């Protein structure tokens, strides 16, 4: 993950990000439904605390704030954070990213993220998901909505479909990122004491819920 490049890209995208997710022909299907489902799965009551990683312009964070939940939004892009803060003045914003949470303080009822974890390879995803559990209150959970494939065969199926339908440019975009191989990611997480649940919402957008289990 080239942080400098990513920061530049998201700084440049910040002013039109919200338009993109509502108008995009591909990549953000069922966007609002997916964010609503993340809130539902996080199950944080009013007065609770949520950490939103890759908060962007605050579209997911705002849903929690509207329910009386305190939210800390983390993003590597200052421009994104500025847009989020302008939309949601009560949002606490922190500059950082999945692998640098040095400015984050306290424990949370839930840690959430949407459309962000695919910027790092699966081996590092697994380490991040294990590390994040340290920021959870007892009984807390992690809920992630992101691009992923079920396994290698699913990835090849999507590739073949996109190429056959003349959408090579979409496949090139996918190849520039690290869409998770869920079978491999779950294998990496097998030693972590947590229950992992998954829901498929589009051909390659999934919601993962990690619920840490008490160690014996």
Alpha-carbon distance 91 to 172, whole Å?
35
The answer to whether 119 and 56 are in contact (CB under 8 A) is no
Give the pLDDT confidence of 125-149 residue by residue, as tens digits.
999 999 999 999 999 999 999 999 9
Q: Which of 138, 50, 130, 125 is nearest to 94 (CA)?
A: 50
Alpha-carbon distance 46 to 43, whole Å?
10
pTM (predicted TM-score) = 0.94
Residue 215 has pLDDT above 90, yes or no: no
pLDDT at position 80, please?
A: 97
The answer to whether 73 and 101 are in contact (CB under 8 A) is no
Q: Which fold has domain 3-212?
A: Rossmann fold (3.40.50)
pLDDT at position 110, please?
A: 99
Give the number of other Cβ atoms within 10 Å of residue 123's Cβ: 12
pLDDT at position 2, please?
A: 78
Give the pLDDT confidence of 32-78 residue by residue, as tens digits.
999 999 999 999 999 999 999 999 999 999 999 999 999 999 999 99
SS (H, E, C) the chain: CCHHHHHHHHHHHHHHHHHHHHHCCCCCCCHHHHHHHHHHHHCCCCCCEEEEECCCCCHHHHHHHCCCCEEEEEECCHHHHHHHHHHCCCCEEEECECCECCCCCCCEEEEEEECCHHHCCHHHHHHHHHHHHHHEEEEEEEEEEEEEECCHHHHHHHHHHHHHCCCHHHHHHHHCCCCEEHHHHHHHCCCCCEEEEEEEEECCEEEEEEEECCCC
Alpha-carbon distance 28 to 37, whole Å?
14
pLDDT at position 1, please?
A: 58
pLDDT at position 192, please?
A: 80
The answer to whether 81 and 110 are in contact (CB under 8 A) is no
pLDDT at position 16, please?
A: 94
Regarding predicted confidence, which is higher, 82 or 1? 82
178: CB partners within 8 A, 6+ apart: 118, 119, 120, 121, 122, 125
Sorting pLDDT into bands at 50, 70 and 90, what band is 119?
A: very high
Alpha-carbon distance 9 to 56, whole Å?
12
pLDDT at position 81, please?
A: 98
Sorting pLDDT into bands at 50, 70 and 90, what band is 216?
A: low
- For the chain, the structural domain boundaries read 3-212
pLDDT at position 138, please?
A: 96
The percent of residues in the chain predicted with pLDDT above 70, rounded, is 99
């Amino acid at each position: 993950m080239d942080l400098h490049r990513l920061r530049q890209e998201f700084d440049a995208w910040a002013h039109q990000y919200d338009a993109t997710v509502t108008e995009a022909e591909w990549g953000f299907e069922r966007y609002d439904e997916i964010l609503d489902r993340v809130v539902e799965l996080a199950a944080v009551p009013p007065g609770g605390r949520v950490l939103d990683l890759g908060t962007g312009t605050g579209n997911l964070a705002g849903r929690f704030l509207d329910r009386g939940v305190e939210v800390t939004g983390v993003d590597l892009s200052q421009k994104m954070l500025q847009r989020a803060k302008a939309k949601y003045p009560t949002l606490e914003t922190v500059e950082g990213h999945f692998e640098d949470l040095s400015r984050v303080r306290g424990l949370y009822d839930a840690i959430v993220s949407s459309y962000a974890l695919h910027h790092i390879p699966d081996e590092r995803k697994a380490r991040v998901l294990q590390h994040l559990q340290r920021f959870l209150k007892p009984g807390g959970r992690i809920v992630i909505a992101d691009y992923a494939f079920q396994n290698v065969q699913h990835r090849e199926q999507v590739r073949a479909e996109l190429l056959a339908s003349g959408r090579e440019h979409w496949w090139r975009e996918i190849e520039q990122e690290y869409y998770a191989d869920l079978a491999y990611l779950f294998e990496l997480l097998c030693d972590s004491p947590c229950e992992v649940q998954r829901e498929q919402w589009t051909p390659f957008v999934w919601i993962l819920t990690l619920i840490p289990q008490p160690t014996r």
